[in-house]
Amino acid sequence: MSQPSSSAEQYDGQSGRSRYRPQEIEPKWQRFWLDHKTFKVEVDLQKPKYYILDMFPYPSGTGLHVGHPEGYTATDIIARYKRMRGFNVLHPMGWDAFGLPAEQYAIETGTHPRDTTARNIGTFRRQIQSLGFSYDWDREISTCNPDYYRWTQWIFLKLYERGLAYMAEVPVNWCPVLGTVLSNEEVIDGKSERGGHEVIRKPMLQWMLRITNYAERLLAGLDQIDWPDSVKEMQRNWIGRSEGARIRFHLCTPEGARFSEGDAFFDVFTTRPDTLFGATYCVLAPEHPLVDRVTTAAQRDAVEAYRQEAARKSDLARTDLVKEKTGVDTGGYVLNPATGTPIPIWVADYVLITYGTGAIMAVPSGDQRDWEFARRFDLPIIEVVKGGDIGKEAYVGEGPHVNSGFLDRLNVADAKKKMTAWLKEHGHGEGTVTYKLRDWLFSRQRYWGEPFPVIHVDGQPYPLSANDLPLVLPEVESFRPTGTGEPPLAAVREWVETVAPGTGKPALRETNTMPQWAGSCWYFLRFVDANNAERPWDTDKERYWMPVDLYVGGVEHAVLHLLYSRFWHHVLYDCGLVSTPEPFQRLVNQGMILGFSYRYYEDAAGNCYSFHQVQKIVQDGAEEPTYVLAARPDVALTVRYAPVEQVRWKDEKPYHPEEAELELEPQQDKMSKSRGNVVNPDAVVAEYGADALRCYEMFMGPLEQVKPWNTRSVAGVSRFLARVWSLLIGDTGEVRPQVSDEPADRQAHLTRQYHKKIKKVSEDLDGMRFNTALSALMEFVNEAQKAERLPRALAEGLVLALAPFAPHLAEELWQRLGHADTLAYAPWPTYDPELVKDETLTVAVQVNGKLRATIEIAAEADQAATLAAARGHEKVQLHLEGKTVRREVVIPGKLVNFVVT
């Protein structure tokens, strides 16, 4: 590998001085890395592998913001570090390219989503490459490419074969304005996540994936992986396992005579079967199929009215935060299997049709919701566990059972066991487990997604053969949904109408497409063998590279993407197609980068006010506060933002760009266009360079932490890089004479510092503590600047240690130091443990726990010598004078404490 020349381009003709010029060296090295495919990898059984992955970006039209490079820089640093440590590093990048925004843009402008997406990918790629990330670009993939989605369809067929994909008529979130069905995740407060349009519920025949079959394994798998506890906890909550019992209740007359029909019953799920003796009524969800059956003629109108109201309420989602329970008596009765007495059946919307069986047994003494409901409607409350005051609230704690027949005097755990056994024995029910997790609605009424490899013959779905893949998206006249709920693909008759292979019967193609999650559920597998035209991936390559050793991305994917892709991976594992059940061994979430925004307020007439004049009003239950003029609370105000680059500064305070006296209120907010606080990485690169941006993003604070962007601090990091440059390179562009070829003096202060800092940087990189690693490098550079000579070995070690953080600068310096090869695979600098130890130690001397002096002692000084030195210090003597020493605490090499009275 030969390198481009480092010539006079660095030489500043005007001042005659060579300076650190990132704008010149960065494109040079980026070109070099691409031209030489420096980061291309293949399977190498001689080397340990390391698979390091960034979460798949969606290439939006707005390009990168400074949040993207945070995670990408972290992974790039680890990738470069691991290469220097001798690992074979797989570090790929690609595009989650299907998705609604390109389709929305197509509807508005007629531009094909393919073209929009290609353009956006171009922008993303250019921006990412301008930051010097060490991706293997030969593995770049895009989910909207038929060579890729062919295999997404292939995996769908695997799911179908295993009975994990099925069609069901389900009420879906239908958004008339977008003309599409949205997933629950895309609906926020009853409005579409994108655009804020109204969403209503509408039944539709949909593809579903049976993720619930894997609930138990998805839960168990969490124990095997190294993820943040908070993310594991979120997944556990999302899966929502609860253990209890299914209990059968038989319909009966008000007098308790059991109906004879075989289907005159419903099941409830309860986690507290031990409280069955306290069940004084049952509640059905409004949507429960048995509601009509149990409702008496007298109650029919009331029940029907309530059901309609409840249906409307769910359309408005949960904006109605009324805490008070509502419900209606159906007039029907069931037998309590434990007591044999009839209890009434009610309908109430606090029971959810989507959880458990959609019906509950209500135990007002043991469940606060049931208690509130019973109080409201004057239903009986019977104590079954002693210990609380059921006149005031439900008691959920531990205690002996009472009023419970054969359970009396038992504790909760034993009573649960005994009741569960009793239920089974008498045919009233059995122990069971329920999950909150629902099956995954996998259809979208959109154009820009993977077509399902399915045809319908006589109303029955049939999968295509794997040989017929990819089933390519046809061209359409219009991207607009048909408006009836039928997807755009339904309009392409010549594509939709086909014949069944074999029988030749007329058939219709499936016109739904897959959701965006589909492509991102397995992309990490395609990366191991991205260009394989025969198979989705080669199993030997999969076995070598998988699992992903380090996966970095935003916490917003904590549940959905990470749960869905784990689900697919478990299925592929069961198919024998992958070698590990879990795809991502270690997960790290980077914290969001906030931007400073500058607020002021405006009234309806267009008058502007500073935050000093404004009062904030937070109403109970309201999500957003409202603002009024402090002097005139009847004047409602709207929040406005001054764009960050237009803010004027006066005496350290921000002011409005036009209104001279209008002081702005600085706030840290999530970056967004509307707040005018978005920082574009292109601008930062243009001014300070990619290395400075990378280093700043790492220097801001711990990776996982939320932190505010401060452009002024970028300049500080940029100065550090310039100091490294001028430490090694003189005015002429040549290596400074101070960088001497004589071997480093082992005893020299600078040598010892060097070994300490290399140790610190190595350990911090292992622990992904990038901010403190950079601090250590800065400290070394500060020391080296003071020294008269810098031995070459130390200079080279510094360059290598800096390389993962500021690779362009490091490559340039490495070249000028006389190396012909890239430093990407140079061995990571080592340290000598002997030189890391201090010769003398600074020991703190305390009297009664207060610091009074510090003393320098030899590293090998024993306890007695330390104590003597401490006593000898004049300040210490001053504080010991006239006192009795009760105790002497000596922590070797650290501290001495005299306890005196």
Partner RNA sequence: GCCGGGAUGGCGGAAUAGGCAGACGCAGUGGACUCAAAAUCCACCGCCCCGCAAAGGCGUGCGAGUUCGACUCUCGCUCCCGGCACCA
Give the footprint of RNA on residues 141-170 (CB under 7 A): none
Count how many Cα atoms sit within 13 Å of the Cα of residue 835 in the half-sphere of its side chain.
19
Of the candidate spans 328-336, 399-407, 507-515, 890-898, the one that interacts with RNA by CB under 7 A turns out to be: 890-898
Q: Counting Cβ atoms within 10 Å, is residue 195 exposed (0-12), middle (13-18) or buried (19+)?
A: exposed
Helix ranges, 184-274 (H): 215-221, 229-239
Residue 135: count other Cβ atoms within 10 Å of its Cβ.
23
3 state SS of 468:
helix
Residue 772 near RNA by CB under 7 A: yes
| 384 lies in the binding site for RNA (CB under 7 A) | no
Least distance between RNA and beta carbon 855 (Å): 10
Query: Is residue 392 involved in binding RNA (CB under 7 A)?
Result: no
**Should residue 689 be labelled a site residue for RNA when binding is judged by CB under 7 A?**
no
- Establish if 836 lies at the interface with RNA (CB under 7 A): no
The only residue of 169, 229, 494, 741 in contact with RNA, by rule CB under 7 A: 229
| Span interacting with RNA, options 77-85, 350-358, 680-688, 816-824, rule CB under 7 A | 350-358
Pairing mode, if any, of strands 626-629 and 739-740? unpaired
Residues 540-559 close enough to bind RNA by CB under 7 A: 555-556, 558-559
Which H or E element spans position 567?
Answer: helix 560-574
Restricting to residues 776-795, name those near RNA by CB under 7 A. 778-779, 782, 785-786
Q: Point out which residues pair with 51 in neighbouring strands.
A: 90
Q: Give the largest Cα separation in the chain, rounded.
A: 109
Among 355, 377, 573, 831, binds RNA (CB under 7 A): 355
Q: Is 708 in the site for RNA (CB under 7 A)?
A: yes
Residue 493 sits in the site that holds RNA (CB under 7 A): no
User: 573: helix, coil or strand?
Assistant: helix
Regarding 722 and contact with RNA (CB under 7 A), the answer is yes
Under the binding rule (CB under 7 A), the answer on residue 270 touching RNA is: yes
Q: Per CB under 7 A, does 221 bind RNA?
A: no
Q: In the chain, what are the helix, strand and coil shares in percent, each to the nearest 5?
A: 35, 25, 40
Q: How far is the CB of 899 from RNA (least distance, A)?
A: 5
Cα 873 to Cα 184: distance, rounded to the nearest angstrom? 71
- By CB under 7 A, which span of 82-90, 415-423, 447-455, 705-713 interacts with RNA? 705-713
Minimum Å gap between C-beta 434 and RNA is 7
Two tokens, residue 65? 């913001």
Site string for RNA, 272-291 (x = CB under 7 A): x------------x------
- Distance CA(360)–CA(311), nearest Å, equals 19
Residues 91-150 that bind RNA (CB under 7 A): none
Q: Return the residue of 38, 242, 482, 740 that touches RNA, per CB under 7 A.
A: 242
CA 887 from centroid of its chain's CA atoms = 53
Q: Judged by CB under 7 A, which stretch of 469-477, 803-811, 824-832, 838-846 contacts RNA?
A: 838-846
> What's the chain's Rg over C-alpha atoms?
34
Q: State yes or no: residue 396 binds RNA (CB under 7 A).
A: no
The size of the interface with RNA (CB under 7 A), counted in residues, is 81
Other Cβ atoms within 10 Å of 712 Cβ, number: 6
Q: Which of residues 631-670 bind RNA (CB under 7 A)?
A: 652, 670
Min CB(684)–RNA separation in Å: 15
Min CB(238)–RNA separation in Å? 7
* H-type alpha helices, 597-742: 681-688, 690-699, 711-728
Choose between 459 and 649: whose C-beta lies nearer to RNA. Answer: 649
Q: Note whether 585 and 549 are within 8 A (CB).
A: yes
Looking at beta carbons only, is 352 or 500 nearer to RNA?
352
Burial of 603 (0-12, 13-18, 19+ CB in 10 A): middle
Euclidean distance between CA atoms 211 and 239, whole angstroms: 10
- What are the strands, taking DSSP E only, across 425-510? 429-434, 440-441, 454-457, 460-463, 497-499, 506-509
Q: What are phi and psi of 434, to 5 degrees?
A: -125, 150
Cα 307 to Cα 289: distance, rounded to the nearest angstrom: 12
Contact stretch for RNA (CB under 7 A) within 216-224, 234-242, 571-579, 680-688: 234-242
> Within positions 723 to 762, which residues make up the interface with RNA, using CB under 7 A?
723
Q: From the CB of 828, what's the least distance to RNA, in Å?
A: 21
Within positions 582 to 641, which residues make up the interface with RNA, using CB under 7 A?
A: none
Under the binding rule (CB under 7 A), the answer on residue 716 touching RNA is yes
Closest to RNA by CB, 77 vs 490, is: 77
Rounded to 10 deg, the angle between the 749-766 and 770-786 helix axes is 170
Amino acid at the residue 659: E
| Alpha helices (runs of H) in 388-538, residue ranges in sequence order | 412-425, 493-496, 517-520, 523-526
Task: Give least dist CB 438 to RNA, A.
Answer: 9
Q: How far is the CB of 354 from RNA (least distance, A)?
A: 7
Q: Which of these ranges, 74-82, 124-132, 229-237, 809-817, lies near RNA under the rule CB under 7 A?
A: 229-237
CA-wise closest residue to 332 among 359, 364, 292 = 292
CB of 239 to RNA, least distance (A): 10
User: What's the min distance (Å) between Cβ of 349 and RNA?
Assistant: 5
